[in-house]
Structures are given as C-alpha cells and as structure tokens.
C-alpha cells in the first residue's frame, strides 16, 4: 500500500537511484573487476547527482522554451521593486531585487505581479520589460537578453553533464571509449568553448549597452573600463579561435584526402 502513495516525482527519483546503482556496479566491474559496497556507494552518489542536475536543467530549459513559444507577450512597465537580503556567489550578504510590473492583458484588464527574474541590480521604476503571461500564473515570465544568457549558460551546463552521463552509460555497457572521447573533444573545442566566449562577450557588451544608452547610468567607471577591456579581448580572441580551429580542421581534412 505504501507504493501506491508514491508520487510521480517519487517514482522518478527511485528510478534514478536504481539506475545510479546499476551504473556504479557496471563501471566498477569494468574498472577493477569487482564492486565493493563503499565503491558502489561513492560512484552511485556521483551518478545520482549528475542525473538530478540533468533533469533539473532539462526541465528548466523545456519550460522556458515552451513559455517563450506559447505564452502571449506583453510590454510591461516596472511599477515597484521587491528587495530581499540573500547570499551572493561568494557567500556575502547582498540585496536581491525582483521587479513588480504592470500591464494590460488581452481583455484589457490591468495585471500587476512580480517577474520570475531577480538580480543584484535594482530595476528602474518606469522601465519597460517584455513578459509572457497567461491567466492563472503567479509570476510573469520575463523575456529579456539576461534571461536568454542565463538559459544559454544552463544549456552549456546540460551539455557537459549529459556528455559525462552518456559517457558513463557507454562505459558501463562495455563500449570502446576512443570514439566517444574524440566526440567530446570536438564538442568542447568546436561548440562549448566558442559558445562560452560568446556568452561572456554578450554579457559584457550588454552591460556596456545599458550604460551608454542611459539605462544604467550609475554603473561605476571601473566596471565600464573592465567590461570594455575584456569585451575587446574576447572579441578578437573569439575571431582568432574560430579562424584557428577552422584552419586546423580544414588542414586535417586535406591531409586525410
């Protein structure tokens, strides 16, 4: 009777635990010829964490893509700001701001609610934000460049985690890994590296755009200089990297012919 009360999420977690244990046993048997309890526990935890991260990122990406393609879009105006204390990436206390926006829906009724994005930069009252919304939503889906960059970073993380997960499965079932390692090298060098450089360049370029367009006039001058310097470095580095990578690939193809 207990099993009947398990939710769908519970069954999914249970399936991931079973898969993690099976993969751990197979990996250890191929590596050392035996699978001890301590080793199984350690490898199972690593695989389980990767599965949880991949599932979470996958759901987030799928939800964003679905909302962007299906939700009605509105031009919303920031009318208030909700601030709360939180911890930044370095563990320091920082004020995090969530914009509260107002707009009129398809029926002409005024809607006022928070967006799903929060940051350390205080939004300006009166600022226009594009949002997606349908009746019944508790927060509006913010559709902005910063959101696309966040989703892009999550997509890169999902690619890396997926690569290691599928590599583990590939290894566990006894496949030859040389081709998979070559695929991973090409994936990192030909896609993830240039995409990461573009994301960094886009973030710094967007910060400069906000400053020079007057949307963020309070940005410190040292931050403007740093963003400008690294934007130039990243721009020429990206061009040089792509040219070098494509030239190397073209040269190897000609040699093989």
Domain residue spans of the chain: 72-133, 176-257
> Is pTM beyond 0.75 here?
no
Q: Report the 3 state secondary structure along the chain.
A: CCHHHCCHHHHHHHHHHHHHHHHHHHHHHHHHCCCCHHHHHHHHHHHHHHHHHHHHHHHHHHHHHHHHHHCCEEEEEEEEEEEEEEECCCCCEEEEEEEEEEEECCCCCEEEEEECCCECCCCCCCCEEEEECCCCCCCEEECCHHHHHHHHHHHHHHHHHHHHHHHHHHHHCCCCCHHHHHHHHHHHHHHHHHHHHHHHHHHHHHHHHHHHCCCCCCCCHHHHHHHHHHHHHHHHHHHHHHHHHHHHHHHHHHHHC
pLDDT by position in tens, the chain (length 257)? 444 455 777 788 888 888 888 888 888 888 877 777 788 888 888 889 889 989 988 888 888 888 888 888 999 899 988 888 776 656 677 778 888 899 988 888 888 989 888 877 778 888 888 888 888 888 888 888 778 877 888 888 888 888 888 888 888 888 888 888 888 888 877 777 888 888 888 888 888 887 887 767 767 788 888 888 888 888 888 888 877 776 666 555 455 55
């Amino acid at each position: 009777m207990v099993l009947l009360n398990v939710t769908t999420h519970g069954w999914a977690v249970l399936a991931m635990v079973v898969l993690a244990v099976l993969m751990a046993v197979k990996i250890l048997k191929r590596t050392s010829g035996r699978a001890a309890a301590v080793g199984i526990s350690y490898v199972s935890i690593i695989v389980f964490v990767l599965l949880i991260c991949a599932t979470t990122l996958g759901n987030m990406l799928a939800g964003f893509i679905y909302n962007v393609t299906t939700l009605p879009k509105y031009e919303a105006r920031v009318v208030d700001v909700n601030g709360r204390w939180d911890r930044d990436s370095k563990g320091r206390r920082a004020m995090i701001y969530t914009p509260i926006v107002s707009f009129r829906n398809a029926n002409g009724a005024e809607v006022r609610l928070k967006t799903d994005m929060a940051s350390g930069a205080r939004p300006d009252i009166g600022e226009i934000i594009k949002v997606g919304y349908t009746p019944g939503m508790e927060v509006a889906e913010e559709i902005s460049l910063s959101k696309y960059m966040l989703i892009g970073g999550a997509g890169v993380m999902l690619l890396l985690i997926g690569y290691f997960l599928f590599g583990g499965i590939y290894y566990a079932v006894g496949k030859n890994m040389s081709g998979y390692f070559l695929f991973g090298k090409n994936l990192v060098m030909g896609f993830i590296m240039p995409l990461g450089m573009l994301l960094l360049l886009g973030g710094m370029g967007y910060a400069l755009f906000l400053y020079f367009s007057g949307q963020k006039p309070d940005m410190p001058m040292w931050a403007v200089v740093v963003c400008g310097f690294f934007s130039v470095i990243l721009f020429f580095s990206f061009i040089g990297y792509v040219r070098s990578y494509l030239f190397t690939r073209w040269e190897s193809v000609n040699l093989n012919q």
